[in-house]
Amino acid sequence: MANKMIRIGVVGGTGYSGVELLRLLAGHPHCELVLITSRGEAGTPVASMFPNLRGRVDLAFSAPSDAALKQCDIVFYATPNGVAMQQARMLFDAGVRLIDLAADFRLRDAATWERWYGSRHACPELLKEAVYGLPEMHRERIKTARILANPGCYPTAVQLGFLPLMRNGQVDLAHLIADAKSGVSGAGRKAEVHTLYSEASDNFKAYGVGGHRHHPEIVQGLQYLAGRAVSLTFVPHLTPMIRGIHATLYARLNDDADLQALYENAYAAEPFVDVLPPDSHPDTRSVRGSNFCRIAVHRLEGNTAVILSVIDNLTKGAAGQAIQNMNLMCGLAETTGLEQIALIP
């Protein structure tokens, strides 16, 4: 597939992750956008809704059609939870590869998914076919995936922050803490009171303390890395910015390992993880609009590790990572179409 244009369909291209996906795909040298669907906006030119795409995306939104989707090589779902699983069997049987930016295939256990997402899973038998799309964890499996579960934004920042410690067994797995902050675009483009300008601006609050849907996803990944059970306290916060995630992670170390060297060695060959020099403090603007995760590590007295992990929730936390996965699935260089430098200011 690497030697021909990849025929791309995007289902649900009207949200923030959707327009970020379209922005990146429009500049990808090996992709041809053939279909962008929206039930509510069918017939509307995409560039009239998103003027940044004028001259780059000439399609109009179309109503979803099974026949049209079957003509694609890869279909991205930038839809709410529960949509991709309704069409997954049809695409799987037709040989079309599916990349879901929502949560339908992230959890391995159907009962766990149903408990956290409050509905019956439409195709639990396909969960075993799905590959969790964190390249730094599952690169080889991603290459042959037919159903790709793109990770959540918080889980991406948190798992990348903890990954080297999990793999090296140098941390107390019973006392992991993830204190994470997100911009309001993480809540999606739908109109809700808590994301109104006068509600979110000049304000800061925690939410989902009693249980957030990303918690079981993060625990699933950390347990895979550690090879045994972990205990994680995860508290998300809403911040008065549009895009970006900052995760401050805490762990108790079991020995005197050189944290800086551990992280630099773990990510030395990773194209999108940047371990900063000692005593650094990454900020979210350093990754805005890019597919990078930037990490800094600190060791405090009492064997406490503090890991700072920042990503753009719409890029490495959603659309950029989805394209990184597509590149792997199609035999392309992993960085193709994703080498944008972050936007400052």
Cα-Cα-Cα-Cα dihedral sign, residues 279, 284, 285, 290:
positive
The answer to whether 5 touches 31, Cβ cutoff 8 Å, is: yes
Cα separation, 57 vs 42, in Å, equals 15
Q: Of these residues, 31, 72, 123, 153, which one is catalytic?
A: 153
CB atoms < 10 A from the CB of 179, how many? 16
Cα separation, 294 vs 274, in Å, equals 5
Cα separation, 12 vs 344, in Å, equals 29
Phi-psi sector, 208: left (phi>0), alpha (psi -120 to 50), beta: left
CB atoms < 10 A from the CB of 198, how many? 8
The kind and range of the H/E element at 52 are none
**Structure-token pair, residue 14:** 């009207």
**Structure-token pair, residue 298:** 């600190």
Q: Give whole-number Cα distances, 48 to 202, 260, 292, in Å.
A: 31, 48, 30
The answer to whether 125 touches 102, Cβ cutoff 8 Å, is: no
Whether 31 is a known active-site residue: answer no
The answer to whether 213 touches 203, Cβ cutoff 8 Å, is: no
Cα separation, 173 vs 163, in Å, equals 12
Where in the sequence numbering do the catalytic residues fall? 153
